[in-house]
Structure 1
Amino acid sequence: MSTTAFAPVTPEQARRLRDGADGDALGPLHAHAAGPALREAHGLGASDDEEAGFVALGYAGLAALVAHPAPRLVLAVDLDDAQVRTSGDHFGTVEVSGLRWAQVTAVFGDEPGAADDLAEARRLVAGRSVEDVADDDEVVGLVDRWDLLWYAPEELDTASA
């Protein structure tokens, strides 16, 4: 079986992975997946895969905002179940091991023009966790104005510009 997860990374981490580094060399890598706890917390059933994926991507986008400097960058990855350790929280947080670039199915990057709102959101989240900011209406309002745009893995340099 496999798990699709969304891993917030820095552009440097993504380039190192693309250039052949093992994901474990990047340090602890956390991602967000549409597991049972996330689905239950958001009232999503087994048939709500697309919506659950959007929720997990949203949490990964918040995690990128909290943990990494601009721009936000999230990798969509298909993982073997042995590569995933689930936390069981309602944010779908998982710890990833042994990630390889070949497992990246998409790259998500900030929409052009989002820099000012995201800079303000970064100021508001400084020193806080995803759990702290997920219900902060001001932060969520700033972030929700802008989409994380989909890019193919080979478009990493464009997505992270």
Structure 2
Amino acid sequence: MSTPSLDGVAAFVPVSREQATALRSGDDLGDLVAYAPGPALQAAHGLGPTDEEEAGFVALGYAGLGALLTGPGLRTVLAVDVGGGQVQASGSEFGQVQLHGLTWAQVSAVFADEPDASPDLDAARALVAGRSLADVADDEEFVGLVDRWDLLWYAPAELDASAG
């Protein structure tokens, strides 16, 4: 059975600050894990086809958690518009997808933490070191630390300003 393609959707890509800067400079980041509000995520959260906005917020939340699990520092998540077979769905209830061929022109927004979030994010990382998203998504202590801080929205041109 082949994995379906999710063309024409928004996806959220957790990246390091260095990766975001490299993408803006034209570098190819290769295959990336992203989070998209596709059918598997919608079904897992009791959302229907008309709940697109809510599904997008859920996918962004998982991308924010994923950013904590993949590296140090403040979280950076790129909102991107994808199409043309760039995304392969995994069937994950968390909306995890494989994304390839991403360009900076596809970035519609940058989400990032404010610098004051560092202590809580560091504590959250220490709490879940070596665990997967599936293992930590329902960990109340972890989610409590993370939920103290909303990811702030920036236009793509504000990437440098989003660094705090």
Name the TM tier (shorter chain). Answer: over 0.9
Percent identity reads 63
User: Alpha-carbon deviation of 1:81?
Assistant: 4.4
CA contact (8 A) 1:84 1:97 kept: yes
Cα distance in 2, alignment partners of residues 99 and 106 from structure 1: 14
Structure-2 residue corresponding to 1:51 = 54
How far off its partner does 1:158 sit? 1.7
Note if 1:20 corresponds to 2:26.
Answer: yes
Q: Which residue, out of 87, 102, 106, partners 2:90?
A: 87
Corresponding residue for 2:111? 108
For 1:81 and 1:37, locate their aligned partners in 2 and report how far apart those are by CA, in whole Å. Answer: 20
Normalised to the residue count of structure 1, the TM-score between the two structures is 0.95
Q: Secondary structure at the match of 2:160?
A: helix
Distance in 1 separating the partners of 2:163 and 2:10: 21
Gaps of 5+ in 1: none
Q: How does 1:129-140 map to 2 (within 5 A)?
A: 129-140=132-143
Q: Deviations over 1:93-141 (max 9, x none)?
A: 0000100000000000003421111110010111111111101000000
Tell me the number of residue pairs that the alignment of Structure 1 and Structure 2 aligns.
158
The runs of 4+ residues in structure 1 deviating greater than 2 Å are none
- SS of 1:63's partner is helix
Corresponding position: 1:142 with 2:155? no
Name stretches of at least 5 consecutive residues in structure 2 with no aligned partner.
1-6
After superposition, give the CA deviation of every residue in 1:47-99 in whole Å (9 maximum; x if it has no partner): 11111000000000000000111110000000004000110010000000100
Which amino acid in the other structure matches residue 163 of structure 2? Answer: S
Q: TM-score, normalised by structure 2?
A: 0.93
Q: How far apart are the structure 2 equivalents of 1:139 and 1:158?
A: 27
